[in-house]
């Protein structure tokens, strides 16, 4: 009989030290810090990464099944310089936020134990493990393993209704959607049908004191599908398709089909921390319009190409994204669009963080704009696409944290 032995229960017993002798831990994560400080109360949770013996950097990525995977990276400093530890923690989509927080905190604590095992701090920690009951045969274990009857397919159905009513205006919207995904190391298949319905009303008063209620309705329906095949650590190819019907864009029916190729300058294994990709799509577009367009078209077929260049970096000092997208219709290169976007959240120096983001688009491809003037309702209520040759937005912020570096007190009262 071969016994299957695993640690079912792991308990960390820590010898408490005076505050000035405790290890200093700096954690950079989107996590429940209150639970972290409450459960791991034998270290100083510092706000200064430079003054911490241990820096913990956690990157979160979405899994195809709706769950999340957290990549934990421990890095030693000062007397722990040179010590590193890295591992992943996966959660399922059915776990509550509390369960996710607890699992992540437990694994952080276990990671601290492994990180310190070869240091002079190892004697501060005692591990206790309880084994499960013996299993008669490993073959029996294999027989009882749950098979994946869904063959890696994940399905999600969702809906959302919202309404806001005031004395002078109202806004109601309904969103419906369905998602079907199949993800394997070689394939990524996605189907996304969606529906959106919105009504807006606004009471206006003219110069004579007469009131009028303006009402506008928007209906959008679209279906997106894609099949992507991995062909190497850097190359992927795919086929994309979309069908659209939109009162906002003056399209009764729009169809787009395009093959694509993508190259990642880094290996796909490094995606949690950095990726630099260039993608090219070229395909066929067929539009049937609700009203005649400014180009005197009621329907048309066009060829369109798009190039996307994206850079994403996630490191201990912060996160950066920069993207460039350029596209045009092959029949008329003057009908084009160029989009630049970027955002960054960077820790500059001790306690000082800076975030900035923005985008700028040069727009010359609004081929579906209807002829004539837009109605007052559509202009005031934003229910129709308006002509423009550019779009821009910018946002930035600055935060500075200072004061007690080692305040480990938890107090959630009023």
pTM of the model: 0.73
For the cut 60, the answer to whether the pLDDT of residue 137 exceeds it is no
What is the per-residue pLDDT for 409?
Answer: 62
What is the per-residue pLDDT for 11?
Answer: 47
Q: Work out the end-to-end distance of the chain between its first and last CA atoms, rounded to an integer number of angstroms.
A: 59
What is the per-residue pLDDT for 21?
Answer: 65
How confident is the prediction for the chain on average, in pLDDT?
Answer: 84
For the cut 70, the answer to whether the pLDDT of residue 385 exceeds it is yes
Cβ count near 304 (within 10 Å): 21
Q: Considering just the CA atoms, what is the radius of gyration of the chain in Å?
A: 28
Over residues 295-318, the mean pLDDT reads 92
The rounded percent of the chain whose pLDDT value lies above 70 is 86
For the cut 70, the answer to whether the pLDDT of residue 347 exceeds it is yes
Domains of the chain: 9-130 (3.40.50), 153-400 (2.40.160)
What is the per-residue pLDDT for 328?
Answer: 97
Contacts of 351 (CB under 8 A, 6+ apart): 47, 48, 400, 401, 402
For the cut 80, the answer to whether the pLDDT of residue 308 exceeds it is yes
What is the per-residue pLDDT for 136?
Answer: 54
For the cut 60, the answer to whether the pLDDT of residue 6 exceeds it is no
The rounded percent of the chain whose pLDDT value lies above 90 is 43
For the cut 50, the answer to whether the pLDDT of residue 10 exceeds it is no
For the cut 70, the answer to whether the pLDDT of residue 389 exceeds it is yes
User: Rounded distance, CA 346 to CA 319, Å?
Assistant: 6
pLDDT band of 52, cuts 50, 70, 90:
confident
What is the per-residue pLDDT for 33?
Answer: 81
User: Rounded distance, CA 277 to CA 307, Å?
Assistant: 11
Residues 317-346: tens digit of each pLDDT: 788 999 999 999 999 999 999 999 999 988
Q: List the alpha helices (DSSP H) in 145-260.
A: none
């Amino acid at each position: 009989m071969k016994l299957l032995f695993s640690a079912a229960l792991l308990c960390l017993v820590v010898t408490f030290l005076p505050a000035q002798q405790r290890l200093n831990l700096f954690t950079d994560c989107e996590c429940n810090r209150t639970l972290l400080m409450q459960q791991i109360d034998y270290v100083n949770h510092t706000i200064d990464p430079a003054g911490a013996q241990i820096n913990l950097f956690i990157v979160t990525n979405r899994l195809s099944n709706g769950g999340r995977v957290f990549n934990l990276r421990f890095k030693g400093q000062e007397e722990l310089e040179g010590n590193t530890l890295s591992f992943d923690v996966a959660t399922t989509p059915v776990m509550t936020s509390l369960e996710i927080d607890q699992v992540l905190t437990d694994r952080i604590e276990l990671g601290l134990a492994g990180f310190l095992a070869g240091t002079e701090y190892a004697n501060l920690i005692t591990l206790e493990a309880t084994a499960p009951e013996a299993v008669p045969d490993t073959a029996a274990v294999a027989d009882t393993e749950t098979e994946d009857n869904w063959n890696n397919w994940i399905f999600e159905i969702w809906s959302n209704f919202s309404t806001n009513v005031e004395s002078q205006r109202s806004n109601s919207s309904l969103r419906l959607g369905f998602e079907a995904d199949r993800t394997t190391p070689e394939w990524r298949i996605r189907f996304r049908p969606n529906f959106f319905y919105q009504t807006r009303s606004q009471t206006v008063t003219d110069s004579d004191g007469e009131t009028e209620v303006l009402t506008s309705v928007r209906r959008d329906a679209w279906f997106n599908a894609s099949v992507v095949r991995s062909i190497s650590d850097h190359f992927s190819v795919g086929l994309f398709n979309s069908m659209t019907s939109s009162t906002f864009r003056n399209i009764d029916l729009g169809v787009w089909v395009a093959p694509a190729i993508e190259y990642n300058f880094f290996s796909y294994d490094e995606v949690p921390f950095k990726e630099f990709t260039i993608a090219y799509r070229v395909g066929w577009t067929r539009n049937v319009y609700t009203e005649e367009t400014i180009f005197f078209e009621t329907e048309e077929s066009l060829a369109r190409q798009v190039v996307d260049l994206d850079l994403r970096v996630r490191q201990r000092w912060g996160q950066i994204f920069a993207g460039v997208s350029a596209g045009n219709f092959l029949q008329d290169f003057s009908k084009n669009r160029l989009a630049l976007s970027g955002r960054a959240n960077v820790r500059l120096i001790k306690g000082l963080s800076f975030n900035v983001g923005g985008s700028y688009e040069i727009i010359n491809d609004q081929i579906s704009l209807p002829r004539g003037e837009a109605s007052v309702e559509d202009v005031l209520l934003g229910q129709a696409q308006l002509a423009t040759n550019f779009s821009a937005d910018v946002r930035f912020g600055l935060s500075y944290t200072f004061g007690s570096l080692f305040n480990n007190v938890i107090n959630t009262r009023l």
